[in-house]
Amino acid sequence: MKIAMFSTKPYDRFYFDKYNSKFNFSINYYETSLNKDTANLSSGFDAICAFVNDIIDEETIKILAKNKIGLIALRCAGYNNIDLVAAKNHKIKVVRVPAYSPEAVAEHAMALILTLNRKTHKAYNRVREGNFSLTNLIGFNLHGKTVGVIGTGQIGATFCELIKGFGCKIIAYDIYKNEVLEDNGITYVNLDELFKNSDIISLHCPLNKYTKHIINKASISQMKTDVMIINTSRGALINTANAIEGLITKKIGYLGIDVYEQEENLFFEDLSERIIQDEDILRLMSFPNVLITSHQAFFTKEAMMEITTTTLENLEAFNKKTKLINEVV
Protein backbone atom coordinates (compact mmCIF):
# COMPACT_ATOMS: atom_id res chain seq x y z
CA MET A 1 0.00 0.00 0.00
CA LYS A 2 1.20 3.47 -0.90
CA ILE A 3 0.83 6.24 1.67
CA ALA A 4 1.36 10.00 1.36
CA MET A 5 2.31 11.46 4.74
CA PHE A 6 1.91 15.21 5.21
CA SER A 7 3.35 17.72 7.69
CA THR A 8 6.34 15.52 8.44
CA LYS A 9 9.48 16.37 10.35
CA PRO A 10 12.72 14.40 10.74
CA TYR A 11 11.41 12.72 13.91
CA ASP A 12 8.32 11.46 12.03
CA ARG A 13 10.51 9.86 9.39
CA PHE A 14 12.76 8.32 12.03
CA TYR A 15 9.94 6.60 13.91
CA PHE A 16 7.90 5.54 10.88
CA ASP A 17 10.95 4.16 9.08
CA LYS A 18 11.88 2.28 12.24
CA TYR A 19 8.51 0.60 12.80
CA ASN A 20 7.41 0.28 9.16
CA SER A 21 9.83 -2.64 8.71
CA LYS A 22 7.07 -4.88 10.07
CA PHE A 23 4.51 -3.64 7.52
CA ASN A 24 6.60 -2.69 4.46
CA PHE A 25 4.33 0.14 3.35
CA SER A 26 5.56 2.51 0.67
CA ILE A 27 5.59 5.89 2.43
CA ASN A 28 6.27 9.23 0.78
CA TYR A 29 7.06 11.96 3.30
CA TYR A 30 5.97 15.52 2.54
CA GLU A 31 7.02 18.43 4.72
CA THR A 32 4.15 20.52 3.38
CA SER A 33 0.84 20.51 5.22
CA LEU A 34 -2.29 19.03 3.70
CA ASN A 35 -4.89 21.46 2.40
CA LYS A 36 -6.81 22.17 -0.80
CA ASP A 37 -3.67 23.52 -2.47
CA THR A 38 -1.52 20.46 -1.71
CA ALA A 39 -4.12 17.69 -1.84
CA ASN A 40 -3.17 16.78 -5.42
CA LEU A 41 0.06 15.34 -4.04
CA SER A 42 -2.12 12.40 -3.02
CA SER A 43 -2.46 11.25 -6.63
CA GLY A 44 -1.24 7.68 -7.04
CA PHE A 45 -1.55 6.80 -3.35
CA ASP A 46 -4.02 4.56 -1.51
CA ALA A 47 -4.14 6.49 1.77
CA ILE A 48 -2.90 9.70 3.30
CA CYS A 49 -1.57 10.36 6.80
CA ALA A 50 -2.22 13.78 8.35
CA PHE A 51 -1.43 15.70 11.51
CA VAL A 52 -3.16 18.17 13.85
CA ASN A 53 -2.88 21.36 11.78
CA ASP A 54 -3.64 19.94 8.35
CA ILE A 55 -6.81 21.50 6.91
CA ILE A 56 -8.96 18.63 5.69
CA ASP A 57 -12.10 20.51 4.72
CA GLU A 58 -14.70 19.62 2.10
CA GLU A 59 -12.67 21.08 -0.74
CA THR A 60 -9.60 19.08 0.27
CA ILE A 61 -11.64 15.89 0.64
CA LYS A 62 -13.14 16.30 -2.84
CA ILE A 63 -9.62 16.29 -4.27
CA LEU A 64 -8.63 13.27 -2.17
CA ALA A 65 -11.72 11.42 -3.39
CA LYS A 66 -10.95 12.32 -7.00
CA ASN A 67 -7.50 10.81 -6.46
CA LYS A 68 -9.16 7.64 -5.12
CA ILE A 69 -7.86 7.98 -1.57
CA GLY A 70 -9.69 5.45 0.60
CA LEU A 71 -8.34 6.32 4.04
CA ILE A 72 -7.31 9.36 6.04
CA ALA A 73 -5.06 8.21 8.88
CA LEU A 74 -4.68 10.90 11.54
CA ARG A 75 -1.56 10.46 13.64
CA CYS A 76 -3.15 12.37 16.51
CA ALA A 77 -6.14 12.06 18.82
CA GLY A 78 -8.11 15.16 17.83
CA TYR A 79 -10.10 15.34 14.61
CA ASN A 80 -11.60 18.84 14.74
CA ASN A 81 -9.59 19.75 11.63
CA ILE A 82 -11.46 17.34 9.36
CA ASP A 83 -14.91 17.57 7.75
CA LEU A 84 -16.27 14.18 8.76
CA VAL A 85 -19.54 14.65 6.86
CA ALA A 86 -17.66 15.32 3.62
CA ALA A 87 -15.40 12.31 4.23
CA LYS A 88 -18.42 10.07 4.75
CA ASN A 89 -20.18 11.44 1.68
CA HIS A 90 -17.10 10.62 -0.41
CA LYS A 91 -16.74 7.18 1.19
CA ILE A 92 -13.34 7.96 2.72
CA LYS A 93 -12.65 6.25 6.04
CA VAL A 94 -11.05 8.24 8.86
CA VAL A 95 -8.96 6.71 11.64
CA ARG A 96 -7.03 8.29 14.49
CA VAL A 97 -4.78 7.54 17.46
CA PRO A 98 -7.27 7.85 20.33
CA ALA A 99 -4.76 7.44 23.15
CA TYR A 100 -1.00 7.42 22.88
CA SER A 101 0.47 8.69 26.12
CA PRO A 102 -1.82 10.56 28.49
CA GLU A 103 1.15 10.81 30.85
CA ALA A 104 3.11 12.83 28.28
CA VAL A 105 0.48 15.58 27.99
CA ALA A 106 -0.46 15.56 31.67
CA GLU A 107 3.19 15.85 32.72
CA HIS A 108 3.70 18.77 30.33
CA ALA A 109 0.69 20.55 31.83
CA MET A 110 2.31 20.02 35.23
CA ALA A 111 5.60 21.39 33.88
CA LEU A 112 3.86 24.56 32.68
CA ILE A 113 2.30 25.05 36.11
CA LEU A 114 5.58 24.59 37.98
CA THR A 115 7.57 26.74 35.57
CA LEU A 116 5.07 29.60 35.58
CA ASN A 117 4.73 29.46 39.34
CA ARG A 118 8.38 29.12 40.39
CA LYS A 119 9.75 31.01 37.36
CA THR A 120 12.49 28.48 36.74
CA HIS A 121 12.85 29.62 33.12
CA LYS A 122 13.68 33.14 34.30
CA ALA A 123 16.00 31.91 37.06
CA TYR A 124 17.89 29.77 34.52
CA ASN A 125 18.54 32.76 32.26
CA ARG A 126 19.51 35.00 35.18
CA VAL A 127 22.07 32.60 36.60
CA ARG A 128 23.67 32.09 33.18
CA GLU A 129 24.25 35.85 33.13
CA GLY A 130 25.70 35.87 36.64
CA ASN A 131 22.56 37.32 38.20
CA PHE A 132 21.75 35.44 41.40
CA SER A 133 19.05 37.84 42.65
CA LEU A 134 15.71 36.43 43.79
CA THR A 135 13.81 39.66 43.09
CA ASN A 136 10.48 38.99 41.34
CA LEU A 137 11.00 35.22 41.39
CA ILE A 138 8.59 34.53 44.25
CA GLY A 139 6.03 31.78 43.69
CA PHE A 140 3.30 30.13 45.74
CA ASN A 141 2.73 26.75 47.36
CA LEU A 142 0.67 24.41 45.23
CA HIS A 143 -0.30 22.53 48.38
CA GLY A 144 -3.83 23.44 49.42
CA LYS A 145 -4.73 25.23 46.19
CA THR A 146 -7.93 24.41 44.29
CA VAL A 147 -7.33 23.09 40.78
CA GLY A 148 -10.19 22.98 38.29
CA VAL A 149 -9.87 20.33 35.59
CA ILE A 150 -12.09 20.68 32.53
CA GLY A 151 -12.27 17.33 30.78
CA THR A 152 -11.51 14.09 32.62
CA GLY A 153 -10.80 11.67 29.82
CA GLN A 154 -7.53 9.74 29.90
CA ILE A 155 -5.32 12.84 29.89
CA GLY A 156 -7.46 14.80 32.34
CA ALA A 157 -7.69 11.82 34.68
CA THR A 158 -3.92 11.35 34.57
CA PHE A 159 -3.43 15.04 35.30
CA CYS A 160 -5.76 14.73 38.32
CA GLU A 161 -3.56 11.97 39.70
CA LEU A 162 -0.43 14.10 39.25
CA ILE A 163 -1.78 17.28 40.78
CA LYS A 164 -3.31 15.36 43.69
CA GLY A 165 0.21 14.36 44.67
CA PHE A 166 0.95 18.02 45.35
CA GLY A 167 -1.78 18.17 47.99
CA CYS A 168 -4.22 20.17 45.89
CA LYS A 169 -8.00 20.14 46.13
CA ILE A 170 -9.35 19.02 42.76
CA ILE A 171 -12.70 19.94 41.26
CA ALA A 172 -13.65 18.81 37.79
CA TYR A 173 -16.15 19.29 35.00
CA ASP A 174 -17.07 16.78 32.33
CA ILE A 175 -20.34 15.72 30.73
CA TYR A 176 -19.35 12.17 31.72
CA LYS A 177 -18.22 11.66 35.29
CA ASN A 178 -15.32 9.33 36.07
CA GLU A 179 -16.36 7.18 39.03
CA VAL A 180 -12.77 6.17 39.76
CA LEU A 181 -11.82 9.83 40.17
CA GLU A 182 -14.82 10.44 42.40
CA ASP A 183 -13.77 7.51 44.57
CA ASN A 184 -10.33 9.12 44.82
CA GLY A 185 -11.73 12.37 46.17
CA ILE A 186 -12.19 14.46 43.02
CA THR A 187 -15.43 16.47 43.13
CA TYR A 188 -17.45 17.16 39.98
CA VAL A 189 -19.05 20.60 39.79
CA ASN A 190 -20.73 22.72 37.14
CA LEU A 191 -18.64 25.08 35.04
CA ASP A 192 -19.70 28.25 36.87
CA GLU A 193 -18.62 26.77 40.19
CA LEU A 194 -15.33 25.60 38.71
CA PHE A 195 -14.58 29.04 37.28
CA LYS A 196 -15.42 30.78 40.57
CA ASN A 197 -13.46 28.53 42.93
CA SER A 198 -10.31 27.47 41.05
CA ASP A 199 -6.87 28.92 41.69
CA ILE A 200 -5.61 26.98 38.65
CA ILE A 201 -7.68 25.86 35.66
CA SER A 202 -6.30 23.17 33.34
CA LEU A 203 -8.01 22.36 30.04
CA HIS A 204 -8.14 18.74 28.87
CA CYS A 205 -11.37 18.61 26.86
CA PRO A 206 -11.71 18.10 23.09
CA LEU A 207 -12.51 20.99 20.77
CA ASN A 208 -16.05 20.99 19.42
CA LYS A 209 -18.96 23.40 18.99
CA TYR A 210 -19.72 23.19 22.71
CA THR A 211 -16.19 23.81 23.98
CA LYS A 212 -14.89 26.37 21.48
CA HIS A 213 -13.91 29.52 23.41
CA ILE A 214 -14.96 27.95 26.70
CA ILE A 215 -12.49 30.44 28.15
CA ASN A 216 -14.00 33.77 27.14
CA LYS A 217 -14.84 37.20 28.53
CA ALA A 218 -17.80 35.90 30.52
CA SER A 219 -16.03 32.90 32.03
CA ILE A 220 -12.90 34.92 32.83
CA SER A 221 -15.04 37.48 34.68
CA GLN A 222 -16.20 34.71 37.04
CA MET A 223 -12.69 33.58 37.91
CA LYS A 224 -10.57 34.51 40.89
CA THR A 225 -8.23 37.43 40.41
CA ASP A 226 -4.72 36.13 39.63
CA VAL A 227 -6.04 32.81 38.30
CA MET A 228 -3.65 30.49 36.43
CA ILE A 229 -4.96 29.01 33.14
CA ILE A 230 -3.22 26.07 31.45
CA ASN A 231 -4.09 24.73 28.00
CA THR A 232 -2.49 21.61 26.55
CA SER A 233 -5.54 20.52 24.56
CA ARG A 234 -6.63 22.69 21.59
CA GLY A 235 -5.94 26.36 21.01
CA ALA A 236 -9.50 27.43 20.22
CA LEU A 237 -10.68 26.46 23.69
CA ILE A 238 -9.43 29.94 24.62
CA ASN A 239 -10.64 33.17 23.05
CA THR A 240 -7.22 34.75 22.58
CA ALA A 241 -8.42 38.36 22.51
CA ASN A 242 -10.35 37.84 25.76
CA ALA A 243 -7.33 36.18 27.38
CA ILE A 244 -5.14 39.14 26.42
CA GLU A 245 -7.70 41.48 27.96
CA GLY A 246 -7.70 39.35 31.10
CA LEU A 247 -3.93 39.58 31.31
CA ILE A 248 -3.95 43.35 30.83
CA THR A 249 -6.53 43.85 33.60
CA LYS A 250 -4.54 41.39 35.79
CA LYS A 251 -7.56 39.12 36.19
CA ILE A 252 -5.43 36.35 34.71
CA GLY A 253 -2.25 36.08 36.76
CA TYR A 254 -0.60 33.29 34.77
CA LEU A 255 -1.21 31.75 31.34
CA GLY A 256 0.52 28.62 30.11
CA ILE A 257 -0.34 27.36 26.62
CA ASP A 258 1.05 24.57 24.51
CA VAL A 259 -1.57 25.21 21.83
CA TYR A 260 -2.75 28.36 20.11
CA GLU A 261 -5.83 29.22 18.09
CA GLN A 262 -3.86 30.20 14.96
CA GLU A 263 -0.97 27.81 15.49
CA GLU A 264 -1.13 26.24 12.03
CA ASN A 265 0.71 29.30 10.69
CA LEU A 266 3.41 29.16 13.37
CA PHE A 267 4.02 25.96 15.28
CA PHE A 268 6.45 23.23 14.23
CA GLU A 269 8.42 25.74 12.10
CA ASP A 270 11.62 27.73 12.67
CA LEU A 271 10.56 31.35 12.18
CA SER A 272 13.53 32.88 13.96
CA GLU A 273 14.71 34.71 10.84
CA ARG A 274 11.28 35.95 9.82
CA ILE A 275 8.97 38.73 10.95
CA ILE A 276 6.01 37.07 12.62
CA GLN A 277 2.78 38.57 11.32
CA ASP A 278 0.48 37.27 14.07
CA GLU A 279 -0.17 40.21 16.40
CA ASP A 280 -1.93 38.13 19.06
CA ILE A 281 0.97 35.71 19.56
CA LEU A 282 3.40 38.64 19.67
CA ARG A 283 1.24 40.30 22.31
CA LEU A 284 1.10 37.11 24.36
CA MET A 285 4.87 36.70 24.11
CA SER A 286 5.32 40.20 25.55
CA PHE A 287 3.72 39.32 28.90
CA PRO A 288 6.15 38.21 31.63
CA ASN A 289 3.49 35.92 33.13
CA VAL A 290 2.77 34.00 29.92
CA LEU A 291 4.58 30.79 28.99
CA ILE A 292 4.17 29.38 25.48
CA THR A 293 5.45 26.07 24.13
CA SER A 294 4.84 25.03 20.54
CA HIS A 295 2.55 22.00 20.78
CA GLN A 296 5.18 19.76 22.33
CA ALA A 297 3.14 18.23 25.16
CA PHE A 298 2.80 14.97 23.23
CA PHE A 299 6.48 14.85 22.32
CA THR A 300 8.06 12.01 24.28
CA LYS A 301 9.78 8.88 23.05
CA GLU A 302 7.00 6.72 24.44
CA ALA A 303 4.26 8.80 22.82
CA MET A 304 6.00 8.87 19.43
CA MET A 305 6.36 5.10 19.50
CA GLU A 306 2.66 4.66 20.35
CA ILE A 307 1.53 7.19 17.73
CA THR A 308 3.62 5.51 15.06
CA THR A 309 2.68 1.91 15.80
CA THR A 310 -1.04 2.67 16.20
CA THR A 311 -1.08 4.62 12.93
CA LEU A 312 0.66 1.79 11.11
CA GLU A 313 -1.76 -0.74 12.62
CA ASN A 314 -4.68 1.43 11.48
CA LEU A 315 -3.26 1.45 7.95
CA GLU A 316 -2.71 -2.32 8.07
CA ALA A 317 -6.33 -2.92 9.10
CA PHE A 318 -7.51 -0.86 6.14
CA ASN A 319 -5.10 -2.65 3.82
CA LYS A 320 -6.31 -6.08 4.96
CA LYS A 321 -9.97 -4.94 5.05
CA THR A 322 -10.35 -5.86 8.71
CA LYS A 323 -12.25 -3.89 11.36
CA LEU A 324 -11.02 -0.30 11.85
CA ILE A 325 -11.07 -0.22 15.64
CA ASN A 326 -9.94 3.43 15.70
CA GLU A 327 -12.33 4.70 13.06
CA VAL A 328 -13.87 8.13 13.61
CA VAL A 329 -17.59 7.93 12.95
The 10s digit of each residue's pLDDT in 125-151 is 999 999 999 999 999 999 999 999 999
From the candidates 75, 108, 261, 263, which is the catalytic residue?
Answer: 263
Q: Looking at the domain assignment, is residue 328 inside a domain?
A: no
- Domain assignment present for 327: no
Supply the pLDDT for residue 1: 96
Binning pLDDT at 50, 70 and 90, where does residue 290 land?
A: very high
Q: How many domains in the chain?
A: 2
Convert the pLDDT of each residue in 292-309 to its tens digit: 999 999 999 999 999 999
Query: Is 219 found in the same domain as 175?
Result: yes
3-state helix, strand and coil shares in percent for the chain, rounded to the nearest 5: 40, 15, 45
| 95 and 239 assigned to the same domain | no
| CA gap 150, 251 in Å, rounded | 19
How confident is residue 78, by pLDDT bands cut at 50, 70 and 90?
confident
Q: Is 108 a catalytic residue?
A: no
* Whether 83 and 111 share a structural domain: no
CB 15, CB 304: distance < 8 Å: yes
pTM of structure: 0.92
Q: Is residue 38 part of a domain?
A: yes
Q: Which alpha helices (H) appear in the chain, and where do they start and end?
A: 10-19, 58-66, 84-89, 102-118, 120-128, 154-164, 179-183, 191-197, 217-222, 240-248, 279-285, 301-319
In a shared domain, residues 38 and 164: no
* 146 and 41, same domain (yes or no): no
Mean pLDDT of 62-73: 98
Residues in the chain, total: 329
What digits encode the pLDDT tens for the residues 199-231?
999 999 999 999 999 999 999 999 999 999 999
Are 229 and 284 found together in one domain? yes
Same domain? For 115 and 94 the reply is no
Residue 190: give its domain's CATH number: 3.40.50.720
Instruction: Examine the domain organization and report whether 93 and 159 are in the same domain.
Output: no
Asked whether residue 180 is domain-assigned, the answer is yes
Supply the range of the domain harboring residue 72: 2-100+300-319
Catalytic residue among 75, 108, 234, 261: 234
Can you tell me the mean pLDDT for 87-112? 95
Residue 295 annotated among the catalytic residues of the structure: yes
Q: Which residues on neighbouring strands pair with residue 3, listed in sequence order?
A: 27, 47
Is 225 among the domain residues? Answer: yes
pLDDT at 99: 82
Catalytic residue of the set 295, 306, 313, 316: 295
Q: What percent of the chain has pLDDT over 90?
A: 97
Has 234 been annotated as catalytic?
Answer: yes
- Residue 310: pLDDT above 90? yes
Mark whether 285 and 268 lie in a shared domain.
yes
87 and 76 within one domain: yes
Whether residue 326 lies inside any domain: the answer is no
